[in-house]
Amino acid sequence: MGESIINGAWVLPALLALVGLVVGAYGTLIGVGGALVLVPLLLLLYPHATPQAITAISLVIVLVNSVGGTIAYARQKRVDYRNGLIFAFGTVPGVLLGIWTLQYVSRNLFALIFGIVMIAISAFLIIRAEPANTAKSVNGHYSCNRPLGFTLSMVAGYLAGLLGIGGGIIHVPVMVYIMCFPTHVATATSHFILIFTGATGTLTHLGQGTFGSDWSVIIWLALGVVLGSQIGARLSKRVHGNVLIRLLAVALAITGLRLVLG
């Protein structure tokens, strides 16, 4: 075996596949790529891994999950491709800047920042109610403030590059509460955007040589994610939009508290 991206603790492949299954299903269900579940788990499973290794793995899994989820959502005709592309292009420079910033962030500071961001977004989702108005749709494309969406997508991209979280935790609330997208369309379109976010992050880390020659951790996680993303997309058809938002808020709160409290 070659040099691994993560050194130290050894984890059973079956456990990694199970983690990938949970990440894929839950991440696709709520439209965030699963990284908000994966990153804390990786921090626990690999206590000596660097932030660069954690985010690199997470962004690969975000890419795999988003491709699988988008295929499933495309079959359900829930993706707004026009707005999704505009927002996706906004994430690219943000991701690059976030990855550049990461070299100056220690593991402890990384966990603290991640936790605070999770708690803040969770509080916002809990306080805000489902918007009464929904944007108008023409041939599956919703009218919205695209320049604002592009700008906020840059912020989402920065957090994605810095924390390895994909950016869906920004995109879904923005599209639901600011752009007034229906929740099920927001989660599906967010997954489409995450393809570009994950690809940008993965290619950047490849260029930086972050990945070692042993990709076994990523492969086992990805196998679980591929199956989990299909399960999550099917479950989402049966779950009300308000429930999706609550699931997202709960996940963010638990994750954030766990990281902040250590």
Reading phi first (left if > 0) and then psi (alpha if -120 to 50, else beta), residue 233 is in alpha
pLDDT score for 213: 64
User: What residues have CB less than 8 Å from 19, skipping those under 6 apart?
Assistant: 38, 41, 45, 221, 224
Indicate the domain borders of the chain: 13-44+53-261
Strand partners, 137: 142
Q: What is the pLDDT of residues 198-226, one digit of tens each?
A: 899 999 988 888 776 668 888 889 999 88
Strand partners, 160: none
For residue 236, give the amino acid letter. Answer: S
Q: What sign does the CA torsion over 225, 76, 198, 150 have?
A: negative
Phi, psi of 220 (to 5 degrees): -65, -40
Average pLDDT over the chain, rounded to whole?
81
Q: How far is residue 33's CA from residue 192's CA, in Å, rounded to a whole number?
A: 10
Q: What is the pLDDT of residues 152-184, one digit of tens each?
A: 899 889 988 888 877 777 888 888 878 878 878
Q: How far is residue 167's CA from residue 68's CA, in Å, rounded to a whole number?
A: 17
pTM over cut 0.75: yes
DSSP element (H, E) containing 142 = strand 141-142
User: What residues have CB less than 8 Å from 56, skipping those under 6 apart?
Assistant: 5, 164, 201, 202, 205, 210, 211
Q: What is the pLDDT of residues 80-127, one digit of tens each?
A: 898 899 999 999 999 999 999 988 888 788 888 878 877 887 887 777
**CA triplet 50, 56, 157: central angle to 5 degrees?**
115
Name the pLDDT band for 1 (thresholds 50, 70, 90): very low
Q: How far is residue 186's CA from residue 172's CA, in Å, rounded to a whole number?
A: 6
Mean pLDDT across 25-53: 79
Q: What is the pLDDT of residues 125-146, one digit of tens each?
A: 777 655 555 656 655 567 778 8
pLDDT score for 92: 93
N- to C-terminal Cα separation, the chain: 33
